[in-house]
Structure 1
Amino acid sequence: MNASPTDRERRIDPFSTAIADGTQLIGRLVIAPMFLLTGIAAISDPQKFIASSSLPAPAVALGAAILTEMICGSLLVIGYRTRLAAGVLAGFTLMTAAMSHGNLTESTQFAMFWKNLAIAGGLMQIVAVGAGRWSVDFN
């Protein structure tokens, strides 16, 4: 089920539906590169990410993070299995906020924590609304 406007709604108000279609595409294209670029950076310099990790198995966590960011980020761009990809990334982002930015007494960590929550909120909107008409998911 896609929350995009129906054909009847498109005929009644084509301007609003065009805006909705465009903003759904732009929203996906704006949020996905953050994950793709982070995944590429982790591939380029894995030791930097492993050294900064406080997890018990940092290499395994890094591999899982790279796969999650690259696969789900790519799915968001093309709009395929978008709700699933956005849901996985929302969970990943919430987990990252809790595990990496939990020191809320430090101002930078506090800001990063809330930034991650905001990103997760945007991803949850994609889960709720779907990819939109300009996507592989649209049928």
Structure 2
Amino acid sequence: MKHEALKLDNQLCFALYACSREITKLYKPILDKLGITYTQYISLLVLWEKDNITVKDLGEKLHLDSGTLTPLLKKLEFMELVNRNRDTIDERKVYVKLTDKGVELKTMAIEIPNKILCSTGLSLQSAELLKENINSLLLTLTPGNNIK
């Protein structure tokens, strides 16, 4: 058929989009108990891994622009989970640092990845392979990787 390429079910982008939305839905009831959203959660994941990083580095790691990141960080700051501080030498740099409350939340979140994996029905090996393939695709699509 001439227009097979235009069928929704044949679109890689839609399969990734729909899957992403469904996975994010799995997080909602768990994160609601912690009082955070999915985007706040992934921001905290970055900071739990490496605290006191620049807003720019956080945005790059999360693939978020400053228009999305700024209100997100304001909310996390209002919730007393992070502090933002300007660099004393280069005022263009703003650092994000976890508060004690933000660090404590990590212990409450420790079981989330395992709960989500169990909810997907995937084996650990299948999940790791899928993640590896998606990360490879993301690397190919990310600007600046000199892949054409």
Relative to the length of structure 1, the TM-score reads 0.27
More strand by share: 2
Larger Rg: 1 or 2? 2
Relative to the length of structure 2, the TM-score reads 0.26
More helix by share: 1
